[in-house]
Amino acid sequence: MKIVFMGTPEAAVPTLLRLIEDGHEVAAVYTQPDRPSGRGNKITMSPIKLAAISHDLKVFQQEKVRSQETIDLMRSHGADAAVVVAYGRILPPAILEIFPKGAINVHFSLLPKYRGAAPVNWAIVNGEKETGVTTMLMDEGLDTGEMLLTSRTEIGDGETAVELMSRLSHDGAELLSKTLANLDDISPTKQDNDLASYAPLLKKELGNIDWHENANVISRKTRGFQPFPTTFTSFRGKRLTIWSSKALDQQDIVDIGSHRMGTIVNVGKDAFDVACGGGTILRIFELQTEGKKRVMSRDLINAAKPAAGEVLGEIVS
């Protein structure tokens, strides 16, 4: 099949590679324009652009996806279908209508749950036990098209959004391969809008820890808000990013009295415990002090010697 591929991040790369492996003709690859990235704001190519160049594929980076120029360019490839994986733009009907077999999206959730930009992150934050991948025929709505195939997977205890996305990216490549191989025999299924939920774009302020929340909620945010916006607080006037933590089981909690939320209530050899809402305790294993590298808690304990009774606080923006 002749394919136009549209995608940008690392999670889209396995699907592009699988298209090549399966023998499809990738007529063109569309990805977001190169952007400044990292500390030095160096102009960086997207993972999809790097993968496409390494396989001698034609790459297009349109600033305006709705322009007539882009629509005419897309039509000129004469492709049977488009495959879209985290491209980063909503495609207009004028583009969706170009492809005889449709524009097929690989979405990293079990639709209609978690439509939107960050389904993997919010599945973890909201405490889902299961997630998966859905292939669908795109329409002009936000992840509202008819579903083709799905695959399911359990979310591992302690699994971060980065780890889960890595797994799902390979599941998505496999599911897309099956979808294209059986496309003419699959009966698309309409989504039940009454069951839909939304996974909005992640913003920096979401990572600011509110210690009045339950420790289970904060721990899920620590795992789900990776690699961005992360979860952070302040310690001795400096930003402290929490990378790994867990809520203690009730039977493991000793009487902490009436401590203010955010108070360090216990300092051990390898971790320390913080009082959270509802009488819950968060144990912190890995962190990063402002301006320093990511370390295990034991390193901070040995170097800074945090003490029971010290209070961690919200970052004031």
Last residue of a domain, one of 156, 171, 199: 199
pLDDT of residue 251: 53
Query: Residue 228: inside a domain, yes or no?
Result: yes
Mean pLDDT of 260-282: 94
Could you tell me which residues come within 8 angstroms of residue 75 by beta carbon, excluding any fewer than 6 positions away?
Answer: 98
The average confidence (pLDDT) of the chain is 94
Mean pLDDT of 7-23: 98
How many domains in the chain?
2
On whether the CB atoms of residues 134 and 147 are closer than 8 A, the answer is yes
On whether the CB atoms of residues 83 and 1 are closer than 8 A, the answer is no
Q: Domain check: are 208 and 152 in the same one?
A: no
Whether the predicted pLDDT of 96 surpasses 90: yes
Model-wide pTM > 0.75? yes
End-to-end CA distance of the chain: 51
Q: Which domain holds residue 32?
A: 2-199
Mean pLDDT of 124-128: 98
Query: Residue 311: inside a domain, yes or no?
Result: no
Mean pLDDT of 87-94: 93
Q: Domain check: are 52 and 125 in the same one?
A: yes
pLDDT digits (tens, 9 = 90+) for 301-316: 999 999 999 999 866 5
* Interatomic CA distance for residues 143 and 187, integer angstroms: 18
Amino acid at 303: A
Query: Residue 190: inside a domain, yes or no?
Result: yes
Q: Domain check: are 174 and 213 in the same one?
A: no
pLDDT of residue 260: 86
pLDDT of residue 315: 61
pLDDT of residue 36: 82
Query: Residue 78: inside a domain, yes or no?
Result: yes
pLDDT of residue 253: 58
Label residue 257 by pLDDT band (50, 70, 90).
Answer: low
User: How wide is the angle at C-alpha 33 spanned by C-alphas 28 and 35, nearest 5°?
Assistant: 145
Query: Residue 235: inside a domain, yes or no?
Result: yes
CA 185 vs CA 92, 148, 206, 274, 308: distances in Å? 27, 10, 43, 55, 64
pLDDT of residue 27: 98
Whether the predicted pLDDT of 150 surpasses 60: yes
Q: Domain check: are 73 and 108 in the same one?
A: yes
Which percentage of the chain shows pLDDT scores above 90?
89
pLDDT of residue 42: 84
Label residue 41 by pLDDT band (50, 70, 90).
Answer: confident
pLDDT digits (tens, 9 = 90+) for 172-181: 999 999 999 9
Query: Residue 143: inside a domain, yes or no?
Result: yes
DSSP helix/strand/coil, 173: helix
Which percentage of the chain shows pLDDT scores above 70?
95
* Interatomic CA distance for residues 90 and 79, integer angstroms: 19
Mean pLDDT of 27-33: 97
pLDDT of residue 254: 56
Q: Domain check: are 86 and 184 in the same one?
A: yes
pLDDT of residue 249: 84
Whether the predicted pLDDT of 317 surpasses 80: no
Mean pLDDT of 9-16: 98
Query: Residue 268: inside a domain, yes or no?
Result: yes
* Interatomic CA distance for residues 124 and 182, integer angstroms: 31
Q: Domain check: are 260 and 126 in the same one?
A: no
Whether the predicted pLDDT of 256 surpasses 70: no
Q: Domain check: are 28 and 92 in the same one?
A: yes
